[in-house]
Structures are given as structure tokens and as C-alpha cells.
Amino acid sequence: MRKTAFVVSMVASSVLVLGSAVAQGMATLNMGVTIDGQDVEGKVTVKDANGAVVAEGDAGTDLSVPPGTHRVIVECKGLVDHPQYVHPAFPFQGGQSYSCKKAFSASTITLLVSKGGRRVAGDVILKRQGGGEPVAKVRTGVQFKITAGRYEGVFKRGRDEWQISGMQFPEGAIESIPVAF
């Protein structure tokens, strides 16, 4: 009985010491996301050299990250196109805390679509100029925030579709952009 109690005590002590060492060995990352200086919703993902996720969570929350050089991916959910910033090799040291914010800039846009001189409502599927996958779906007449740049898209109203090209959304702009068919 006495020998068993001693072994249980040693195992419990080892677990406590091991738990303490693991906790001290982790780094803490708190990465915020801003648009024009305002905190917005975002997502932070930390991946190891093999691409495995080692930490993930909402922007502005503390994430426990194992020591080592990791890839940090920050997604801005406050913009309709959900842009990402990638830091390819950030060195984390155990026991250290890292706190920073990634600033994204935006254009604030309202698309005003008209056909035959009359304003029409519908959806616009946006993609970066030159092709690629769609980055956002927006409603005409409704203000939205998006990464500055050149865009093209498809205006959809019921079964009808019209191509839109050559839209430019300047950084920091607050604009209503007319689109006529």
C-alpha cells in the first residue's frame, strides 16, 4: 500500500511538472484586424512548416502557439472579399507573448445599376479584373467595403445576366459607382 501511494504521488508530481513545462513552452499570439483604424472581425491561423494548423481562432483573442518558425495567416472578415495577409516565417519563442494588429485598407462602394435609364435591383458577383474565382456577392444600392483594386463582375436580376468590366475601387474612397446597361 505504501509503495503504491509513493508511485501515485510520483506520477502526479511528474504530470504537474510536465504540464507546467508545456504551458511555459508555448508562445501567446494576439493578432487584431483593423480597417481604417477600427477593429473588425477576422480569423488568425498559424501553420507549421508542413502546413499543419498549430493554432487558430478569432482575431483579437489569445492563441497558444508552439515555439518554432510558423506561417501566420490573417483573414479580414470585415471586407466582403475576405482578403488575407500571410507572414511566411514568423519565429515564435516559448514563453513569449506577441501582440499586434494587421491593418487592411478598403474602398467603401455602392453600385448603382440602371437599365434603360431606370435604377434596377439585383446582385453583382465580383471578381478581380483579369479573371479568377469570384471574391464577393453584393446587392446593388447597398454600401459595402472591399479591398481597393480593379474588378469585373456579373450583374444578375432574375434569369438575366449582364457583364460588367473596368470597375475601379480606389483605396480609401467612399463612392457610388453608376453602372448602366
Using one digit for the tens of pLDDT, what is the confidence trace for 93-141?
A: 999 999 999 999 999 999 999 999 999 999 999 999 988 899 999 999 9
Output the pTM of the full model: 0.78
In whole angstroms, give the CA distance from residue 57 to residue 38.
19
Instruction: Copy the grid coordinates of residue 114.
Output: 440602371
**At 108, which helix (H) or strand (E)?**
strand 107-115
Using one digit for the tens of pLDDT, what is the confidence trace for 104-113?
A: 999 999 999 9
Residue 136 burial (C-beta neighbours within 10 Å; 0-12, 13-18, 19+): middle
Using one digit for the tens of pLDDT, what is the confidence trace for 41-94?
A: 999 999 999 999 999 999 999 999 999 999 999 999 999 999 999 999 999 999
Give the domains, in start order, of the chain with CATH numbers.
Answer: 27-104 (2.60.40.10), 107-180 (2.60.40.10)
pLDDT at 11 over 60: no
What pLDDT, on the 0 to 100 scale, is given for residue 123?
A: 97
Strand 160-169 relative to strand 174-180: parallel, antiparallel, unpaired? unpaired
What pLDDT, on the 0 to 100 scale, is given for residue 156?
A: 94
